[in-house]
Structure 1
Amino acid sequence: MEKIASFTVNHLTLMPGIYVSRKDHIGSECLTTFDLRMTAPNREPVMNTAECHTIEHLGATFLRNDPEWKDRVIYFGPMGCRTGFYLILAGDLSSADITGLVIRTFTFIRDYKGEIPGAAARDCGNYLDQNLSMANWLARRYLERDLSQIHEGSTERLVYPD
């Protein structure tokens, strides 16, 4: 079988950032899948499922309510390796196009206090597996350590390394 695109990325040199993972065309519509990489693969501990689950609930809620982007959000969820999240948006987009959206999303997650949206038995199949304080901490680290390194005109942390 042919190796899928995400398995061709060199995870030994990949740094946290915002990357275009793939672009798919369905009819006349382009869907862009983004790799929101939060940890350095194979070099840092992965996120535990509870904080991934909380980031998923908060991120999906924020993104699907964002006035500018909500109608373009297709999916937001964790990677199986637990080093980041996939965000699928309608449109032929670049990482630079969504940097502001990602910063706003993770600022929301960093600052969120209170009941986690959808964290109830009626709404979620594993509602008890949540960790808000760790989700806040991971969002803060992603913002301060990684997203702050993204500068206009630079492709570092926006384009996969060779």
Structure 2
Amino acid sequence: MKKIPSFTVNHLTLHRGVYVSRQDRVGDELITTFDIRMKAPNREPALHVNAIHAMEHLAATFLRNHPTWAERVIYWGPMGCLTGNYLILRGDLTPRDILPLLIETFEFIAAFEGDIPGATPRDCGNYQLMDLNIARWEAEKFLREVLRHITDERMVYPE
């Protein structure tokens, strides 16, 4: 069976960063899937499931309510390997195009206080599987170590 494109990325040399995972045409529109890689695969511990679940609720809520980008947001969600998230947006976009949006998103998560949106038994299938403190810590770490001074190397998949 043919490997899907995301399984052909060299995870042994992949850095934390923001990458175009793929682009697809849906009808007349182009959509771009971004790999928001928060952990170096196979070289550092994955995100704690409670943290990435809280981040999913916060980021998805923030992005779908963003005054400029909301109409372009299709999806935000965790990777199964727990080393990052996927963001799917309408349009032919690059990591540089969305960098300000990602900084805003991660600043929102890092500073968030209060009840996590949708973290109730009625609204979520596993509402107790969330940890806001770890989510905030991971968001601040990614901002500080990657997003605020990202290099071209962290926006193009390794060969």
TM bin (shorter chain): over 0.9
Superposition deviation, residue 147 in structure 1: 1.1
- Does the 8 A contact of 2:103 with 2:148 survive in 1? no
1:85 alignment partner, SS class: strand
1:141 alignment partner, SS class: helix
Confirm whether residue 158 of structure 1 aligns to residue 122 of structure 2.
Answer: no
Superposition deviation, residue 49 in structure 1: 1.1
Superposition deviation, residue 54 in structure 1: 0.1
Amino acid at match of 2:144: E
Gaps of 5+ in 2: none
Where does residue 107 of structure 1 map in the other structure?
A: 107
Q: Which whole-Å deviations, capped at 9, do the CAs of 1:132-152 have from their partners, x for residues lacking one?
A: 00000000000001112315x
Structure 1 segments of 4 or more deviating over 6 A?
Answer: none
How far apart, in 2, do the equivalents of 1:123 and 1:20 lie? 31
Q: How many residues are aligned here?
A: 159
TM-score, normalisation: structure 1: 0.96
Confirm whether residue 52 of structure 1 aligns to residue 52 of structure 2.
Answer: yes
Gaps of 5+ in 1: none
1:130 alignment partner, SS class: coil
Q: Which whole-Å deviations, capped at 9, do the CAs of 1:68-120 have from their partners, x for residues lacking one?
A: 10000000000000000000001111111100000100000000011000000
TM-score, normalisation: structure 2: 0.98
Aligned Cα RMSD in Å? Answer: 0.8
Of all paired residues, the percent bearing the same amino acid is 58
Superposition deviation, residue 161 in structure 1: 1.4
